[in-house]
Structure 1
Amino acid sequence: MENLLTDRKFWVDYWESKTGLSVNIPANYLFHQQLREIIEKQGVKTAIELGGFPGYYAVFLKKYFKLDVTLLDYFVHTPVTNSLLEANQLKESDIHIVETDLFNYEPERLYDLVLSCGLIEHFNDTADIINRHVNFVKPGGTLFITLPNFKALNGWFQKNFDKENYDKHNIDCMDPELLQKICKEAGLEVLQSRYFGHFSLWLENEKQKPASLRLFKKAVWLAGKLLTKLIPFNSRQLSPYIILEARKI
């Protein structure tokens, strides 16, 4: 499909290259505050994480908020997910797993909270992938999407030192105004669409990179952390993420 910037082989290779996937998810996991506010204010009972293998946010939502949670992805390696559940004192039956292609799947139910973290930027047609999220949201429910901001310094780092990974991302979609416009056109009420986080850098499979690059990355990371600790702010130039929160009217 022309809309895809990745394929199944990419994700199989990606996850097979990873180690230490079965981690204990902490209560202060990334975006925990935003998710807590949504759940408490909206009385969320059901949630689905799209494209979320191995299911870190599904586990987070079940572990700390006791939600009825579903994980949907078109690549799910069950032993990894089960090991993650075990590491977080959960049972296999605690999370519903749907392994399917999102583009050939009609939702069997609707959810109070639909989220994806690092999914929409792997597609060329941003409006299409967001609307596929919207199809899962109950009336009155919440859509919560996060994605990396490769228009920031972190993106420069990716482009120059991990071009293969950079090219798997749709840089044009990393625009809060564009995301807001798409959601409004879909009939959603946009509550926030903004840059998030003061500063961060990362490289995929960093341990496999040359030592000189790892040292350079660490030096830039420390400098950026110091700057944004002294003057904390969110910005297009430095913030590593974008978050979108919208409600289905």
Structure 2
Amino acid sequence: MKEPNKLTTQKYWETYYSKNHANKKHIVNVCSYYDPFWDQLISQNSKGKSIIEIGGFPGRYLAYLSSKFGLVPTCLDFNSDESQIKNSFEIMEVDRFNILQEDFTKYQPKQQYDYVISNGFIEHFDDFNTILDLHTQYLKPGGSMLVMIPNKRYLRKIYGYLCDYNNLKAHNLKSMKLSVFKKYAKRNDLKIKTHQYYGGFPFSVHQKQNAFQKVISKTTRLVFKKINPYLMKNPSKYLSASIIAIFEKPINVE
């Protein structure tokens, strides 16, 4: 298999997450936003079951889910700083966990897991379909997987060009279609539980701005603070922040 071309580097992610995210209030606020989907992914009687996150640094989603559902987490990420992951688990009072400091594109999994999550990962590769297919080998028959990616097409693409270009160019916008996940499920004999757009318009940026950009971003923020409550109830492919898909692997699929 040809090695997938990455749109980001290890240095990019170590810089991106250089600040410590191990704060309980922050973790809960960020992760509980997706509770409707976590509750679809994970059954209430899952205590002691296994979960892995692909590209899991800094560990906040794993720590939150493991605390909420009593899961045993594994974080797979090539980031060289394990301290933030460990701190996330400690703050959420998770004392059983594993960290795999590996390159996902090269690593051969030693086991399969009851639950697999992948958040903001596949869109950083040219061949995102190959990356998606590699996810399947981590999932047990009868298990469930959630893949979440940002939606940077349509209006967010224009906004990105104007105010957040460095971040925009690190993403493969071709991955940001519901059809990508339909085709993935079909290729790998998976059942789709849900795949949809979710959230309000994301007006945050990841770079310093000039005066012109500040005017655009401030205006956008003011407009969508009023519109986003509507978008939370009525997601739109043109405006909503994310695409979220949940899959199940039938028992008879190896």
Normalising by structure 1, what TM-score? 0.88
Query: Which of residues 138, 160, 163 in structure 2 aligns to 1:161?
Result: 163
Query: Which of residues 176, 187, 191 in structure 1 aligns to 2:193?
Result: 191
Query: Which of residues 98, 103, 106 in structure 2 aligns to 1:104?
Result: 106
Structure 2: how far apart are the matches of 1:52 and 1:30?
18
Displacement of 1:62 after TM fit? 1.4
Structure-to-structure mapping, 1:8-157, within 5 angstroms: 8-16=10-18, 19-24=19-24, 25-26=27-28, 29-40=32-43, 43=46, 45-91=49-95, 94-157=96-159
Structure 1: how far apart are the matches of 2:44 and 2:23?
29
Displacement of 1:73 after TM fit? 0.5
Q: CA RMSD in A?
A: 2.2
The match for 2:238 is 237
TM-superposition CA deviations, 1:109-132 (whole Å, max 9, x none): 111110111001001112111111
The match for 2:219 is 219
1:246 aligns with 2:247: yes
The gaps in structure 2 that reach 5 residues or longer are: none
Which 4+ residue blocks in structure 1 deviate beyond 6 angstroms?
none
Displacement of 1:43 after TM fit? 4.2
Displacement of 1:67 after TM fit? 0.2
1:209 aligns with 2:209: yes
Structure 1: how far apart are the matches of 2:142 and 2:45?
9
* Matched AA of 1:133: H
Structure 1: how far apart are the matches of 2:209 and 2:68?
36
* Percent identity for Structure 1 against Structure 2: 28
Q: Do the aligned partners of residues 121 and 210 (structure 1) sit closer, same or farther apart at CA in structure 2, a change above 3 Å counting?
A: same
Displacement of 1:210 after TM fit? 4.0
Q: Do the aligned partners of residues 63 and 2 (structure 1) sit closer, same or farther apart at CA in structure 2, a change above 3 Å counting?
A: closer
Structure 1: how far apart are the matches of 2:187 and 2:138?
17
Select between 74-83 and 100-109 the one with higher mean Cα deviation: 74-83
Q: Is the 8 A contact 2:163 2:216 kept in 1?
A: no
Normalising by structure 2, what TM-score? 0.86
